[in-house]
Amino acid sequence: MIEPDELWGRADAGIDDEGELRDVIDSFESGPFADRAPHAVEAPFALVLAGQVVRGRIDAVYREDDGTFLIVDWKTGRSGSADPLQLAIYRLAWAEIHDVPITSVRAAFHYVRSGRTVEPEALPGRAELEALVAG
């Protein structure tokens, strides 16, 4: 059971009261990740891209049965869209910090309210991300 203060993405905009929070918790508990234990939660990282330090926290990382990893970024707000570059950065950071091939790390947004999980087909790697940062 997830307590309200433990809900991933609690800081996301769009949860205005306890009733909405209960709805989001209920949606999570009926979704595909409710019964899965994460390998890591709120995993911190620092990554240098084109001389710029990028810091953040990865909401959840799941270890798959085949030894690969699935990064999940929870979205609890009402918007059904998010920037896949966020996932690309998380994916690269996890791969480099844990010394695993980037091809063994997948990444997805999970929109908790709708129960929809979106895994972009192609995420940029280090070279593409550095080119974007260098501008």
Mean pLDDT by 10 residues, the chain (135 residues): 42 66 79 91 95 94 97 86 93 98 97 91 94 87
| pLDDT at residue 29 in the model | 83
Sequence ranges of the domains in the chain: 4-134
What pLDDT is attached to residue 3? Answer: 44
| pLDDT score, position 1 | 36
Residue 14: the pLDDT is: 65
Report domain 4-134's class: alpha beta
φ/ψ (deg, to 5) at 12 = -60, 145
In angstroms, what CA-CA distances link 105 with 5, 24, 60? 28, 27, 13
Predicted local confidence at residue 113, as pLDDT: 84
